[in-house]
Amino acid sequence: DATNGALLVGLINSAQKYLTAESFNFRVNASSTIMKVKQIWTIEFLKDNSCLVHIRSSLRRYLASDNNGKVTCDQEAPSAYSNFVMITQADGKVSFQSDETKRYLGGAEDNITCFAQAVSESEKWVLHLAIHPNINLFSPGKKRYLRYDAASNVVRCDSELPWGPDCVMTLIFDFKGTRSLSVPTLWNCNPHNGNLICCNGKLEPGPSSRSLYVLRVRSGLLCLSDGEGRVLSSREGYVRSLKSDSPSKDELFSPDPSPGQVTIRSLLNAKYISIRSDLQANQTEAKESEIFQIIINNTTRKACFQAASKDYLAVGPKNLLVSLAVLTDNCWFSLVYNGPRVGIKTSDGKFVTTKSNGQLAPVTLSPGPAQEFILQLTNRPLLILQSDYGFVGFGPGTSRLDGNRCTHEASKLSCDEDGYYQFKLGESRVRMSSCPERDQGRAPVRGQLCVYWGGQQEVVHSALCWLAIPG
């Protein structure tokens, strides 16, 4: 994963091929037309406000060039020959100049070199962001996140925390024009993509020249230029394109991951867990105080829930669920699924129970209606599914859902009262019932979205699905 001062990208040359790091002899070529793991590079910015970078492959080896222009990618640690200056060209493409030899990186297919003394089209690269398209955009200048204001139909930079669906943006890459569309995901959006941020600050339902931006990168931060000397800015009351000779922090944005946020509804009283006063399941409507960010421990596979106040759900001293300002062992729970229903189990094996007064306490070792909840995803009105092998979408010329597509398809997501979801890809409405493969004892087909239905593995488009948090 990218860290502070780093950015995950694909690098596309003038022949529309991605720079690729092969595992065999750590060879480098530019022969792939799609971006997968081998085509993802980490641009590491060495200093703030500096164009000096390292280029690291998915194999965690550093790109380097010697005095003869030979390019290698087998170094586990960077050397002086791994230092490159990333130069943004007028058309938005970038060039990489060796800081040691002053030559430029370029070439095609198996002939990747760093020997050119001047920049031609062969030494220009298009940056394709290799991050999940659903993101939160943070302004270092305002120290706030972008938020869609439905009342004014504009995007403002005023959210201290990226909470709820209005703070989720979707980046769409325009492969033909190699420019980016910035999309806030709205509940009332077009089912294929959201309304697009235009240069005048307003939002429009479809792509046009007003919503296309050239992506520029500065020290790991994004700058979106409309091609007429203006850049998307948070300088004023709402986000729009403004003239800027040298972009300031108000014109730079950090593309932060957008973790899943959920509401937790008790099946016993049909009310949401809330932190408005005491922690209880006592609210009939879900607002900010009823939304929780779910965090998964990758080692234990347990989950914790963080509220907008930054407090965590935890088992308190009186064996009641309370909110804590610090993350402790009592904040971690196991999630036990029964279809779309989930039981929340503490470390001592007891299930959280909803009491008649709305209080929550772990009191029983076996789940029942009082111990079951519905977790409803709140910040993915525009859903993009991604597997380890690519995005989920229909295979070419087929109605089969594959999990290895190089481009994403955004779909509008809806959920019913029972916790079942429905979404639409292209012109096909997808409704699935899925179970984790570990419970079936069977491995899914690589790169293909597999659904278990009645004990049989099938690829179907005619059943409802429920979303299970990994755990």
Residue indicated by tokens 């597999």: 450
Which pLDDT score is estimated for 454?
29
Helix (H) or strand (E) holding 197: strand 196-197
Which pLDDT score is estimated for 99?
96
Q: How many CB atoms lie within 10 A of CB 90?
A: 6
Helices and strands counted in the chain (H then E): 1, 45
Which pLDDT score is estimated for 281?
95
Can you list the domains of the chain with their CATH numbers?
6-129 (2.80.10.50), 134-257 (2.80.10.50), 261-377 (2.80.10.50), 382-461 (no CATH)
Which pLDDT score is estimated for 229?
78
Helix (H) or strand (E) holding 174: strand 169-174
Residue indicated by tokens 């792939």: 32
- Rounded Cα distance, 223 and 213, in Å: 9
Give Dmax (Cα) for the chain: 77
CA nearest 185: which of 168, 209, 200? 168
Which pLDDT score is estimated for 194?
66
What is the dihedral angle through the alpha carbons of 358, 364, 368, 370, rounded to the nearest 10 degrees?
A: 0
- Rounded Cα distance, 30 and 50, in Å: 27
Q: Which residues contact 315 (CB under 8 A, 6 or more apart)?
A: 321, 322, 330, 346, 362
In terms of Cβ atoms closer than 10 Å to its own Cβ (0-12, 13-18, 19+), residue 210 is middle
Residues of the chain with pLDDT under 70: 1-4, 174-194, 227, 388, 425-471
Residue indicated by tokens 């909470």: 163
